[in-house]
Chains A and B, each alone.
Chain A
Amino acid sequence: MAILEVKALTVARGSRPLVSDLSFALAAGEVLHLRGSNGAGKTSLLEVLSGLRSPVDGTITPQPEGGQLHWLGHKNALNLALTPIENLEFWCGLNGRAADGLVPVLEQLGVAKVRHRACRTLSAGQKRRSALARLLLDQRPLWLLDEPLDGLDAQGLELFASLLKAHLDKGGAAIITSHQPLPAGVPGVRELRLS
């Protein structure tokens, strides 16, 4: 069964068309790897799929709603003056979820030791790991990830692969933009190149 079905989608930024007449279906256990040069429209397409922006034309079925997808944008959504734990507590509030179980999740991501440090003092990789922690706080069928590998070291890439694999094993799906190849060991990867 398709988690997401896209038909004849046209995406533009301002008056500039980026993606025209795009159709695909994403089934449970699948990863769609969006590739393309800078400015090809990968981020804009993800924003449309998430519902943050409207398409020019086409349909997305079902249109994902809050609580059904995880969004990890190019930006980490971490306020740099707050600590990782304070940022995650706020995210829990935004999603009507009790702010418990945060420390084990941060431990899993390898950033528990820095959980009480302001995010502005963390490295790019530590910030990305703290942002990735949101994916584990709620089980959601669809992950939309924009350049999730940015800033991650070799150990971080392995960790990301294991998180993604566990998500797919549970029947989830993901759409990922990345300039680099996805880490080895992730099953069900399809590539879609935007030109």
Chain B
Amino acid sequence: MIQIFAAVLRRELRLAATAKTEWLMPLFFYVIVVTLFGLGATPNDPKLAEFAPAILWVGALLAALLTLERLFRADFEDGTLEQIFLGTQPVTLVVAAKLFAHWLLTGLPLALLAAPLSSALGFSSVAIPALVAGLALGTPVLTLIGGFASALTVGLPRAGVLLPLLVLPLVTPVVIFGAGAARVAQSGLDGAAPLYFLAAILVLGLTLLPWATAAALRNAFE
């Protein structure tokens, strides 16, 4: 089990090393979007700090969306997906490893980037741990839901248009609880409750979505 997980992870990291723009692009996008909000508002406007959790969360969500379409498409187009389904190892494990690699290259950097970016919006430094913890719990869910939607649309020619329509409604609770945790922490209260909800959603996603994604991928051959 560890061997197949390591093999997939090694391959995905190799691919990331050969195509740096693919995983750097969402990070640049995130920085630009958040900075533009800061530049577009009145300097030192307290409203900006108030809206910061929503800006940081929606920015992270849109940045993560940019990479989702390619998650399985390259493997589908070059025939690797056929070999994955005809290999001896469980497809769910391969899918889980690919999703983990995606989070490692996209979700985790986005969560870490949120801390320095939040200062550009005047976000309270006391609430940064809650913001980052929320993103650390929420970005894997974005990857899991996005991976499932990507698998559903892998065989479709214009999935780029359909993908956000599938993903955005499903990730609404994640944004509500994630931004909520940061907002509550910023107002000086304990943001643990929304974080627990996020953790519960993550556990549910981890339990169900790798299997559902593998089943959706199989459907692409039919």
Chain A, range 47-92, C-beta contacts under 8 Å to B: 47, 50-54, 66-67, 69, 71, 73-82, 86, 89-92
B15 touches A73 (CB 8 A): no
A118 at the interface (CB under 8 A from B): yes
Flag if A93 contacts B19 (CB, 8 Å): no
| B78 and A90 within 8 A (CB) | no
Residue of A67, A71, A89, A93 near B4 (CB, 8 A) is A93
Question: What are the residues of chain B within 8 A of A134 when measuring CB–CB?
Answer: 83
A50 to B4, CA, bound (A): 22
Q: What are 24 residue pairs bridging A and B, where the CB atoms are less than 8 Å apart in the complex?
A: A51-B85, A52-B82, A52-B85, A53-B222, A54-B222, A66-B86, A66-B87, A75-B82, A76-B79, A77-B80, A79-B11, A79-B75, A81-B15, A86-B11, A86-B14, A89-B7, A89-B10, A93-B7, A93-B8, A93-B89, A94-B87, A94-B89, A96-B3, A96-B89
A95 at interface by CB-CB < 8 Å: yes
- The 8 Å CB contact of A94, one of B74, B79, B88, is B88
| Range, interface on chain B | 20 to 34
Contact A94 B94 (CB under 8 A): yes
Residue of A nearest to B74 (CB): A79
Minimal Cβ-Cβ distance residue in A for B16: A81
Q: Known: A53-B221, A94-B84. Is A82-B79 also a contact (CB below 8 A)?
A: no
Does B18 reach chain A (CB closer than 8 Å)? Answer: yes
Which residues of the partner chain A approach B8 to less than 8 Å between Cβ atoms?
Answer: 90, 93
Question: Contacts A53-B221, A79-B74, A86-B14 known; A94 to B82 CB distance under 8 Å?
Answer: no
Given A71-B82, A73-B79, A96-B4: A79 and B87 within 8 A (CB)?
no
Tell me if B15 and A82 are in contact (CB < 8 A): yes
Chain A residues with CB under 8 A of B94: 94
**CB-CB nearest 5 A-B residue pairs:** A93-B7, A75-B79, A94-B87, A77-B79, A67-B88
- Give 14 new A-B contacts, CB below 8 A, not counting A66-B85, A81-B15, A90-B7: A50-B86, A52-B221, A71-B82, A71-B83, A74-B79, A75-B79, A78-B78, A89-B7, A90-B8, A93-B89, A94-B84, A96-B4, A96-B88, A96-B89
Instruction: Note all chain B residues with C-beta closer than 8 A to A66.
Output: 85-89
A54 proximity list for chain B (CB < 8 A): 222
A89 partner residues in chain B, CB cutoff 8 A: 7, 10-11
Within 8 A of A (CB), among B58-80: 74-75, 77-80
A94 touches B14 (CB 8 A): no
- The 8 A CB mask of A113-150 against B (1 = contact, 0 = none) is 00000100000000000000010000000000000000
How far is A127 from B185 in the complex, measured between Cα atoms in Å? 56
- Chain A 143-160, CB-CB to B under 8 Å as 1, else 0, gives 000000000000000000
B138 to chain A, nearest CB (A): 30
Beta-carbon nearest neighbor of A67 in chain B = B88
Question: Across the interface, do A52 and B86 meet the contact criterion of CB distance under 8 Å?
Answer: yes
- Shortest beta-carbon distance from A66 to chain B in Å: 5
Task: Knowing A81-B18, A86-B14, A118-B18, say if A75 contacts B78 (CB, 8 Å).
Answer: yes
**Contacting residues, chain A, for B4 (C-beta < 8 A):** 93-94, 96
The answer to whether B78 and A51 touch across the interface, beta carbons within 8 angstroms, is no
- Check A94 against B83 for contact (C-beta < 8 Å): yes
Question: Residues of B contacting A79 with CB < 8 Å?
Answer: 11, 15, 74-75, 78, 80
Q: For the complex, is B126 an interface residue (Cβ under 8 Å from A)?
A: no
Contact between chains at A90 and B11 (CB < 8 Å): yes
**Is B6 part of the contact surface with A, judged by Cβ < 8 Å?**
yes
Known: A79-B15, A86-B11. A91 touches B83 (CB 8 A): yes
Supposing A52-B86, A92-B7 touch, asked if A47 and B15 sit within 8 A by C-beta, the answer is no
Knowing A77-B78, A77-B80, A82-B18, the reply to whether A69 touches B11 (Cβ < 8 A) is: no
Chain B hits for A95, CB < 8 A: 87-89
